[in-house]
Amino acid sequence: MTFKTPAFVGRVLGAAGLLLTLTATTALADWPEKAVTIIVPWAAGGGTDATARAVAEGLEKRLGQPFNVVNRTGGGGLVGHSAIVQAKPDGYTLGVITIESAMYKSQGLPGVAPEDFTYLGRFNADAIAVNVRADAPYADLGGLIEAVKADPANVAASGANRGGLSHLAWVGMLGKVGVDPVKANWVASDGSAPALQQLAAGAIQVVSTSPAEARALVDAGEAKTLALISGERSSLYPDLPTADEALNIAWSPLPFRGLAGPKDLPPEVVEKVGAALKDLTEDAEFQKFMASRGFSVAFQDGAAFQATVQSAATGLGEAMTSAGLAK
């Protein structure tokens, strides 16, 4: 046909390319157009799961699509964090990351490092606490530490996998008071929920986890919280002493929970999720929910959150090295 000239074909192809570009841009600007998956690397029933579901509900209300929480457990959080890193960077698979994500590299575990994520924002940060059975023979943290010093193998503690934050917080504290971390009796678990079940059953003596996660057992009269492994008292638990006060040490690992996605998420996704998360953390109902569960609200935008994670990776790497856990 006479109109199929090179110039005409060029104009058609150019127009088609422009149309595709405009269509892709419009589609991205309209994100999310379908349900979004939120991967949680820890078991259902724990603090990360509970807060993730509250965040997912808040994002759904603000962004107009379902945000579905999926628990991917195993490997001390490595399975779930890896799933976030390996997801397609289109904004439809995001996740809640915890401080363990900053630790795998120092542990010699491949596949997840701080630089592998796109950071969307932090919504929570709470100190780890030392929790024991209500009938335990320790009146305070000092009494527990004396028992550990006398026989480290006789005091079994749990709260996460070996090398997880709860483990490092516990053995790091023991190291500060002269107990060889290698001799500490640590029972690995897939998060706080199963560890607290073991505590209630009398299978272990200590759970190193946030006071919020131990709250149900404490309220039921089955457990008591002795102290925070922190340098500062918590506004949520002002009557709880810190390990720094009780033991005259300086050791303050601070776990966090925040939203992230795989590397190279589109800027539009980062902007929309970050803005929605900030708005959620300022919402009175969300703050009330968090406080009712004993969780703080501690928002950081994506850039600040990334800096926090990178700083944590450095500090905890040093702690792992001193405990003989770095590889």
What pLDDT is stored for residue 8 in this prediction? 43
Neighbouring CB atoms inside 10 A of 139's CB total: 10
Q: What angle do helix axes 47-63 and 284-292 make, rounded to 10 degrees? A: 170
Q: What is the predicted pLDDT for the residue at 101?
A: 94
Strand duo 117-125 + 300-301: pairing: antiparallel
**What's the DSSP call for residue 238?**
T
Please give the pLDDT value at position 164.
80
- Copy the structure tokens of residue 298: 């501690």
Distance of CA 82 to the CA centre of its chain: 13
Domains and CATH numbers, the chain: 36-126+255-323 (3.40.190.150), 129-247 (3.40.190.10)
Question: Residue 41 burial (CB < 10 Å; 0-12/13-18/19+)?
Answer: buried
Buried b (16+ CB within 10 A) or exposed e, 191-225: bbbbbbbbbbeeebbbbbbbbbbbbbbbeeeebbb
Res 256: pLDDT: 92
Please, what is the end-to-end C-alpha distance for the chain in angstroms?
Answer: 70
Would you write out the chain's pLDDT as a tens digit for each of its 327 residues?
343 444 444 454 454 444 444 444 444 458 999 999 999 999 999 889 999 999 999 999 999 999 999 999 999 899 999 999 999 999 999 999 998 899 899 888 999 999 999 999 999 988 899 999 999 999 999 999 999 999 999 999 999 888 788 998 999 899 889 998 889 999 999 889 999 999 999 999 999 998 988 999 999 999 999 999 988 888 788 899 999 999 999 888 888 999 999 999 999 999 999 999 999 999 999 999 999 888 889 899 999 999 989 988 887 887 787 777 787
**How far is Cα 312 from Cα 306, in angstroms, rounded to an integer?**
10
